Amino acid sequence: MKTDNLSESFWRRIKFILLFTLAIVLLYIIQTKFIVKIPVVDNGELLEAISNYETIIKKQNEYTEKVKNIHEEVKAMEFDIHQVQKKDEINKKIFGIRSVYKENKMNSKYFFGIQSANILQIYFDTREEHSSMLKNKKIIMDNLNECKANI
């Protein structure tokens, strides 16, 4: 008799637990499907944007190396010697860096090309003017010393 009562209460608890679990699962399914919508996002656009940024970063690294090479050429260049061909070559390379902006339909993400080309052009012009100024200063000092000697 005691075992019958025990088994009856045991099975009653098992039924309660099963029904309670089933009710909770059904409520969860209903809630997630109909009440609270879980947003579905198309990741295609995001992946495409990431891919575009990776290409931009690769281009920036590539053009960074070009800018460094041009900087070294300008730094090593002797402006005392008349080098029209070398100057034209450097100006052509600077224009090549500037053209990355136009090649990519003037996208603002490629504006680094114009900025770096402008900075290189300023550096080139400044080095040229500095060399010219030193040369003129030397000529003036020679003339001054000659005038002092004549006096």
Q: Average pLDDT of 90-111?
A: 91
Q: Are residues 81 and 145 in the same domain?
A: yes
Q: Are residues 29 and 65 in the same domain?
A: no
Residue 53 has pLDDT above 60, yes or no: yes
Q: Are residues 26 and 78 in the same domain?
A: no
pLDDT bracket for residue 104 (50, 70, 90): confident
Is 98:117 a contact under the CB 8 Å cutoff? yes
The span from the CA of 107 to the CA of 98, in Å, is 13
Q: Average pLDDT of 76-90?
A: 88
Q: Average pLDDT of 75-95?
A: 90
Q: How many residues does the chain have?
A: 151
Residue 127 has pLDDT above 60, yes or no: yes
Q: State the pLDDT at residue 35.
A: 78
Q: Average pLDDT of 16-25?
A: 95
Q: How far is CA 142 from CA 22, 78, 80, 134, 148, in A?
A: 104, 21, 17, 12, 10
Q: Are residues 56 and 111 in the same domain?
A: yes
Q: Are residues 64 and 133 in the same domain?
A: yes
The span from the CA of 77 to the CA of 26, in Å, is 79
Q: Which residue has the higher pLDDT, 107 or 58?
A: 58
Q: State the pLDDT at residue 62.
A: 95
Q: State the pLDDT at residue 2.
A: 60
| Domains in the chain, number | 2
CB count, 10 Å around CB of 124? Answer: 20
The span from the CA of 68 to the CA of 65, in Å, is 5
Q: What is the DSSP letter of 81?
A: S
Q: Are residues 28 and 49 in the same domain?
A: no
Q: Are residues 60 and 8 in the same domain?
A: no
Q: Which domain holds residue 18?
A: 1-40
Q: Are residues 67 and 55 in the same domain?
A: yes
Q: Are residues 23 and 69 in the same domain?
A: no
Residue 137 has pLDDT above 90, yes or no: yes
The span from the CA of 2 to the CA of 10, in Å, is 12
Q: Are residues 81 and 125 in the same domain?
A: yes
The DSSP string of 120-147 is HHHHHHHHHHHHHHHHHHHHHHHHHHHH
- Which pTM was predicted? 0.66
Q: Are residues 66 and 28 in the same domain?
A: no
Q: Are residues 29 and 76 in the same domain?
A: no
